[in-house]
Chain A
Amino acid sequence: MLVLSLAYQSLKNRVLTTTLTVISIGLSIALLIGVENVRVGARESFANTISQTDLIVGARGGSLQLLLYSVFRIGAATNNITYQTYEHWKNHPAVAWTIPYSLGDSHRGFRVVGTDENFYTHYRYRRDRSITFESGRLPQDVFEVALGSDVARTLGYKTGDKVVITHGVATAAGRGILDHGDKPFTVSGVLKKTATPVDRSLYIQLEGISAVHIDWTDGAPPMPGEEVPAAKITKQTMKIDQITSFLLRSKSRIDTLRLQREISTYSEEPLQAIIPGLTLQELWRTIGYAEDALTVVTFFVIIVGLLGMLVSLYTSLNERRREMAILRAIGAGPVKIISLLVLESFLLSIAGCVLGVALVYVLSVTFQPIVEQHFGLYVPIQAPTMTGWIYLGAVAVAGLLIGFIPAWKAYRNTLSDGLSVRL
């Protein structure tokens, strides 16, 4: 108890050095725990880009390719699915709901997605969040479009504006090769930000995709005079022939496995069905190496913080030779001298840990909504994870062990100082 009091008073006596050392360790800890939280948050956010969807179904090909074009709007499908096949699975007794996607067109670098009402009703991300509107409503007419929030913000569109979609994928800089200029769409609503790829697409009805291609032949636009005017097109007259992929929710998770097998062996059309969570995990495993690199860097930061503490204690010893000699003179044994220095080091590292954790919480509470809004990264505010506690324990133990170096030096000094004439 006496040693503890002495250690406390000694640290208090050197308040500036103590504060700087604690801040240095605290910042290192905050970085380490912060990176751990960001890592967990990034993995969670990535895994929850799409939720409550049991299967994604598309033409047979690569599972990653299907995930990339259906969820991230990257790349393109090798084949489409006939609408007849889609309806077969949509009406399957084990299926609760489906969301069809028809891809292939774009608008100034953003993908256009043909879908139906089920997208607005059933699509979920980040566990149970659904699609909601910032303004306006979902498209009801063939030539209405709902905009993802990034699309509206980047292009400055609002409800009521006219949008011309491009055949194929156009560059962000300008128009594509062929525009569907004779059939413009009216913005019916803007979706609320989801911080997922949903924000970067335009949503029209499946009939809208058919409508803009109604007078096209073999991928070519109509000859002059052969165009079908937009005014003559209604939702009821549109026939949907094919879609690109669809999301599927089964009535029970047990049915999911059976459905996946049935879809993959469907004899009418070569299909594949992937479980999105598993494919996302596979993808994360590949891009997740970056998180290991980040952890390595933060470990080095911790080492630098601890070395700073060692240097601080070690260099202060010279100033404290008189203090040590007095302690020896009044009867403090070597164990007491060593305990004092080790305890000081331990207290510094504990204070650093406390400061670091507090910093993480303050920063998380302050910046969590901003980070989520701008980067789509949901950093959880929670007690340190098991890994976090291991890090904290390791730093505390490292602080304790490092204390032995100056302690041993102090003990040696007190011996030589005791024999010397001058201090």
Chain B
Amino acid sequence: MFMRFTVVLVVAGMAVFGQARSRKAHEHGSAKVSIAFETATGAPKGVIAFEAPAESVVGFEHEAKSVADKTKVAAALRMLAARFGEMVILPAVSACKVTNKSAKVEALKEQHSEVHAEFAVACAKPLAGLEIRFGFMKVFPKIHDVEVALLAGEQQSKADVENDKGVLKIAK
């Protein structure tokens, strides 16, 4: 029984490992969101980290040197900060307030750059048993594939959100 399970795990591991290796760290159109709440009960407080290729948010990945490019970067980051609540839609009944803590473009190797942003979340009511929905494409139409990770108390779960479809259930 254990041997069979072991073989299944190894084969599955190889399959997923293969998938993981083939997934590019920097893939245009994709983004990564990590949500962490200390607890989902009471008045939850947490953080949300967002990272995406700059091309999907700003429209280009070269270093912004011209005034026009710098204006574009500033406008995109302002929009990200202002409309993040529409991208990660926390349950309305929890009355959560999302505040932008940082948002910047970071240069990577090989002419690539990424947008990194962090948000603080403070909710007035519990999140337990509710759902988080998503609307990335409404704000940045190029972001269509997002890997969302959620840590809430002892809950550790993830969702692959494609074309804004997908929800993350917060455990009771």
B-binding residues in A (CB < 8 A): 51-52, 54, 62-65, 67-68, 72, 74-75, 127, 200, 252-254, 256-257, 261, 275-278, 281-283, 285-287, 375
Contact = CB atoms under 8 A, between A and B. Distances in A.
Contact of A65 (B17, B46, B152): B17
Nearest to A52: B154
A278 B149 contact: yes
A256 B45 CA distance: 14
Interface in B1-23: 1-2, 6, 8-10, 12-13, 15-17, 20-21
Given A275-B156, A277-B157, A287-B8, A254 B13 contact: no
Interface string B15-38: 111001100000000000010111
A287 B10 CA distance: 10
B99 to A, nearest CB: 14
A275 B149 contact: yes
Contact of A283 (B9, B38, B45, B155): B9
B16 A283 contact: yes
Given A72-B9, A257-B34, A375-B1, A62 B21 contact: yes
12 contacts: A52-B154, A72-B6, A75-B10, A75-B13, A200-B2, A252-B38, A254-B37, A275-B149, A275-B156, A278-B156, A283-B9, A286-B12
Interface string B152-164: 1111111000000
Given A62-B21, A68-B10, A254-B36, A282 B16 contact: yes
B29 to A, nearest CB: 20
Contacts of A278: 149, 156-158
Interface of B: 1-2, 6, 8-10, 12-13, 15-17, 20-21, 34, 36-39, 45-47, 49, 149, 151-158
Contact of B151 (A64, A67, A200, A275): A275
Q: Which 7 A-B pairs have the closest CB atoms?
A: A277-B156, A286-B12, A287-B12, A64-B17, A62-B17, A64-B13, A253-B151
Nearest to B152: A253
Nearest to A53: B156
B154 A74 contact: no
A65 B13 contact: yes
B3 to A, nearest CB: 9
A253 B153 contact: yes
A92 to B, nearest CB: 17
Nearest to B37: A253
Contacts of A62: 17, 20-21
A256 B36 CA distance: 8
A54 B156 CA distance: 9
B17 A74 contact: no
Contacts of B21: 62
Contact of B46 (A72, A75, A254): A254
A127 B154 CA distance: 8
Contacts of A375: 1
Contacts of B36: 253-254, 256-257
Contacts of A275: 149, 151, 156
Contact of A68 (B9, B152, B153): B9
Contact of B158 (A54, A67, A200, A281): A281
